[in-house]
Amino acid sequence: MALFWCFEALPLAVTALFPLILFPMMGIMDAAEVCIEYFNDTNILFIGGLLVAIAVEHWNLHKRIALRVLLIIGVRPALLMLGFMMVTAFLSMWISNTATTAMMVPIAHAVLEQLHKAPQDKDAEKGSDNQTFELQETSPQKEVTTLDNGQVHPVPPGPLEPKAQRTQEQLRFSQGMSLCVCYSASIGGIATLTGTTPNLVLQAQVNIISKNANVVNFASWFGFAFPAMIILLLLAWVWLQFLFLGFNFRKNFGMGEEARAQQQAAVRVIQTEHRRLGPMTFAEMAVTFLFVLLVILWFTREPGFFPGWGNLAFSNNQGESIVSDGTVAIFMGIIMFIVPSKIPGLTPNPEKPGKLKAPPALLNWKTVNEKMPWNIVFLLGGGFALAKGSAESGLSEWLGDKLTPLQSVPPPAIVCILCLLVAIFTECTSNVATTTLFLPILASMAKAICLNPLYVMLPCTLAASLAFMLPVATPPNAIAFSFGGIKVSDMVRAGFLLNILGVLVIMLAINTWSIPIFDLNTFPSWALTNATHCLANATAPGP
């Protein structure tokens, strides 16, 4: 399966179905046990989170958020880059990295085109509509790119060429903007449990090891990954600014009369697009309310440092919540199929004069079916089945025994080497496949050398999202690359140092604030299965 995933001999989702056939035939697991892994709690969380994300996209709420923040930040070159990175990272925490990039790259180039026009240009003065905004919506001939997860996604065509030939400086700024959007989409996805699929793979793998001990949930992951995301985002901004704008403070922060005139034209473009959205509709307000409510319920279900609503209202005999993050996500998804998109009783029925028509709901199955990446559901399930089969067959234990010589190596050194290895591997293969293959092996290795499995698994999961160097590494990179103006060498040069910075930030996170969150200094009791030799060290200091 690893070879098939690496070389894509079959679609990734088809390869993920192998355990359904081979595990029962090889006597590894019963067919019924294998099937359960394809629709476990983590897959439910994935589907529920995507239902809410699809509603946000369907009602264009993400575009309203993006334009509003850009109006607040302003369009001075350095701040414009920071504004786009902040918006993209925030949106990709909640909706697909691919959808975020596909929306933000055309907006970035539309703003840049106005910024690079002469102030005397009539279009710029009027702040007229810019077609680039509409390319992703209205163009009948869209390019289609097959992404690293096998998903087919429309790619916005390249920006319209301005009348005057772009200068080298403008071209570099344009390259920097494309890269800052696709990089911040990947960086933003690490901050939440549902932000990118590898995070969910980790949660499921930990649940398998710990027998669903609720070790990694939405709140604990956010406390660990959000600060790391903020630090990496700021470092990426400084690096991309240095690489593509240079350290000219006066120019980067838009000093001078000509720069101000161009910036006013660019602001008008954003204002025009924001006005075109009109006032917030009832549907947008309803989706915003349900989205905020979902996040609050996720954070307060079982936060750990105080009893959550899950512990108080829905607990088992041990006082643990029997409601999961997936339960909350599916509940909110179902609510969106019920809540109307307009205030009921105000919509006339054109077919029956004098009668009122029931408004459509916030979500309908046709929209969900078109936008839901069902292939990822199967890919996740196949990974979980593979991990379960490795444990049931004794492969994980055998592999862990072979890795015991690593006990003499300092834990931080092991983690650093593994993060670099995963970051290199994820440039060539799907990040989901990377985490699915690596995490069970890493868990076995950690138990064999009496190291808290989370100390190795958490950083390697983050490292799987450090796909910055190649266009094929991740869908956002492919979209930015296909938009034009970027060479592979540009992406490799920018991405190489960013990969190194990413590993350093991960090392900082796992050795500082994550220790109290996950109690990394002790060997946990839930990891003692097949690791009884660590019993004496269960309370001994770890890394």
Q: Average pLDDT for residues 483-488, to the nearest whole number?
A: 76
More reliable by pLDDT, 159 or 191: 191
The region of weakest confidence among 228-232, 499-503, 529-533 is 529-533
More reliable by pLDDT, 226 or 75: 226
How far apart CA 522 and CA 182 sit, in angstroms, is: 38
Q: Average pLDDT for residues 355-384, to the nearest whole number?
A: 86
245: Cα within 13 Å, side-chain hemisphere: 26
How far apart CA 42 and CA 44 sit, in angstroms, is: 5
The region of weakest confidence among 126-130, 187-191, 442-446 is 126-130
Q: What share of the chain is helix, strand, coil (3-state, %, to 5)?
A: 65, 5, 30
Using CB atoms within 10 A of its CB, is residue 393 exposed (0-12), middle (13-18) or buried (19+)?
Answer: middle
Q: State the average pLDDT for the chain.
A: 80
Give the closest residue to 97 by CA, choosing from 461, 423, 476, 480.
Answer: 476
Q: Average pLDDT for residues 336-346, to the nearest whole number?
A: 85
Q: Are 367 and 54 in contact (CB under 8 A)?
A: yes
Q: Give the model's pLDDT for residue 416.
A: 92
The region of weakest confidence among 251-255, 314-318, 496-500 is 251-255
Q: Which residues pair with 144 in a beta bridge?
A: 154
Confidence of residue 126 (pLDDT cuts 50, 70, 90): very low
Q: Give the model's pLDDT for residue 235.
A: 95
Asked whether the predicted pLDDT for residue 281 surpasses 70, the reply is yes
Dig out the tokens for 162 from the structure: 């301005």
Q: Average pLDDT for residues 262-271, to the nearest whole number?
A: 76
Asked whether the predicted pLDDT for residue 23 surpasses 90, the reply is yes
Asked whether the predicted pLDDT for residue 66 surpasses 50, the reply is yes
Confidence of residue 295 (pLDDT cuts 50, 70, 90): confident
- Classify residue 484 as left (phi > 0), alpha (psi -120 to 50) or beta: left
Say how many Å lie between the first and final Cα of the chain, rounded.
Answer: 33
Query: At which residue do the structure tokens 């997860």 appear?
Result: 149
> Over 417-447, what HEC string results?
HHHHHHHHHCCCCCHHHHHHHHHHHHHHHHH
- List pLDDT tens digits, range 170-180: 788 888 888 99
More reliable by pLDDT, 320 or 327: 327
What DSSP character marks residue 153? E
How far apart CA 411 and CA 258 sit, in angstroms, is: 55
3-state secondary structure of 315: strand
- Could you state, in order of their start, the residue ranges of all structural domains in the chain? 1-118+167-348+359-536
Q: Average pLDDT for residues 362-366, to the nearest whole number?
A: 94
Q: Give the model's pLDDT for residue 116.
A: 66
Q: Give the model's pLDDT for residue 443.
A: 87
How far apart CA 345 and CA 148 sit, in angstroms, is: 46
More reliable by pLDDT, 349 or 439: 439
Confidence of residue 441 (pLDDT cuts 50, 70, 90): confident
- List pLDDT tens digits, range 216-245: 888 889 999 999 999 999 999 999 988 887
How far apart CA 411 and CA 520 sit, in angstroms, is: 12
How far apart CA 464 and CA 471 sit, in angstroms, is: 15
Q: Average pLDDT for residues 274-290, to the nearest whole number?
A: 90
How far apart CA 175 and CA 177 sit, in angstroms, is: 5
Dig out the tokens for 310 from the structure: 């899950």
Q: Which residues of 87-121 are buried (b: 16+ CB within 10 A; e: fewer)?
A: bbbbbbbbbbbbbbbbbbbbbbbbbbbbbbbeeeb
List Cβ neighbours of 330 (8 Å cut-off, separation of 6 or more): 44, 47, 48, 51
How far apart CA 209 and CA 201 sit, in angstroms, is: 13
Dig out the tokens for 211 from the structure: 């027998």
Using CB atoms within 10 A of its CB, is residue 397 exposed (0-12), middle (13-18) or buried (19+)?
Answer: middle
- Classify residue 320 as left (phi > 0), alpha (psi -120 to 50) or beta: beta
Confidence of residue 385 (pLDDT cuts 50, 70, 90): confident
What angle separates helix 41-58 from helix 374-393, to the nearest 10 degrees? 160
Confidence of residue 109 (pLDDT cuts 50, 70, 90): confident
List Cβ neighbours of 24 (8 Å cut-off, separation of 6 or more): 30, 31, 34
Q: Which amino acid is at 209?
A: I
Q: Average pLDDT for residues 287-292, to the nearest whole number?
A: 91
How far apart CA 62 and CA 527 sit, in angstroms, is: 41
Confidence of residue 413 (pLDDT cuts 50, 70, 90): very high
Asked whether the predicted pLDDT for residue 206 surpasses 60, the reply is yes
Q: Which residues pair with 155 in a beta bridge?
A: 143
